[in-house]
Chains A and B, each alone.
Chain A
Amino acid sequence: MDVKEYISSGIVELYVIGSLSKEEAKEVEQMAAAHKEVADEIRKTQELIDGYAMLHQRNPPTQLRAQIMEKLGAGVVNEAKLEARIKNIYANSVAYKYLVAASVAALFITTFFSYFFYSKWSDAETDYTAMLKEKAVMVTNIEEVKYDLENRYHDLLILRDRENRMITLNAMDSTKKFMARVYWNGTTRKAYIDVQMLPTPPDSMQYQLWAIKAGQPIDAGVFEMGDNMGVQELKQVMGADQWAVTLEKKGGSPVPTMNQMYLISKS
Chain B
Amino acid sequence: MGRHQRIAEPDLIKLLVERNKQGIEILYDNYSSALYGVIYRIVQNDEIAEDVMQEAFVKIWNNFSQYDATKGRLFTWIVNLARNLAIDKVRSKDFINSSKNQDIANIVSFIDMGSNHSYNPELIGLRELVRKLDPEHKEVIDLLYFSGYTQSEAAEKLNIPLGTVKTRARNAIMKLRKEFGFAGKN
Report how far A19 CA is from B126 CA in the complex, Å.
Answer: 23
Report how far A71 CA is from B3 CA in the complex, Å.
Answer: 21
- Chain B residue numbers with a CB within 8 Å of A75 are 21
Does more than half of chain B's interface fall in helix, strand or loop, or is it mixed? helix
The answer to whether A227 touches B126, judged by C-beta atoms less than 8 angstroms apart, is no
> A6-14, A100-108, A171-179, A209-217: which one contacts chain B?
A6-14
B102 within 8 A of A: no
The answer to whether A44 touches B183, judged by C-beta atoms less than 8 angstroms apart, is yes
| Residue in A closest to B33 when the chains form the complex, CB atoms | A57
- Chain A residue numbers with a CB within 8 Å of B80 are 18
The answer to whether A8 touches B36, judged by C-beta atoms less than 8 angstroms apart, is no
The answer to whether A129 touches B3, judged by C-beta atoms less than 8 angstroms apart, is yes
Q: In the complex, which residues 19-58 of chain A have their Cβ closer than 8 Å to any Cβ of chain B? A: 19-21, 43-58
Report how far A67 CA is from B32 CA in the complex, Å.
Answer: 13
Does more than half of chain A's interface fall in helix, strand or loop, or is it mixed? helix
- Chain B residue numbers with a CB within 8 Å of A56 are 34, 37-38, 40-41, 111, 116, 118
A interface size (C-beta, 8 A): 54
The answer to whether A71 touches B150, judged by C-beta atoms less than 8 angstroms apart, is no
> A81-89, A130-138, A152-160: which one contacts chain B?
A130-138
Given A14-B151, A19-B144, A50-B73, check contact A61 B50 (CB 8 Å): yes
- Chain B residue numbers with a CB within 8 Å of A135 are 2
- Chain A residue numbers with a CB within 8 Å of B36 are 57-60, 64
| Residue in A closest to B2 when the chains form the complex, CB atoms | A132
Q: In the complex, which residues 30-67 of chain B have their Cβ closer than 8 Å to any Cβ of chain A? A: 32-34, 36-38, 40-41, 46, 49-50, 53-54, 57-58, 61
Given A68-B53, A132-B3, A227-B132, check contact A19 B33 (CB 8 Å): no
B131 within 8 A of A: yes
Given A48-B173, A51-B123, A52-B126, check contact A17 B111 (CB 8 Å): no
The answer to whether B176 touches A48, judged by C-beta atoms less than 8 angstroms apart, is yes
- Chain A residue numbers with a CB within 8 Å of B79 are 50, 53
Additional A-B contacts beyond A44-B182, A48-B173, A226-B132 (17; CB < 8 A): A11-B166, A17-B141, A18-B145, A19-B154, A20-B150, A47-B73, A48-B182, A52-B126, A54-B37, A54-B118, A55-B111, A55-B127, A67-B54, A72-B57, A129-B3, A132-B1, A136-B119
List 21 interface pairs A-B (beta carbons < 8 Å), by A numbering: A19-B151, A20-B151, A43-B72, A46-B76, A49-B145, A50-B76, A54-B34, A55-B123, A55-B130, A56-B111, A57-B116, A58-B37, A58-B41, A64-B54, A68-B57, A69-B25, A69-B28, A71-B54, A71-B57, A71-B58, A137-B119
Residues of A whose CB lies within 8 Å of any CB of B are 8-14, 17-21, 43-61, 64-65, 67-69, 71-72, 74-75, 129, 132-133, 135-137, 139-140, 143-144, 200, 226-228
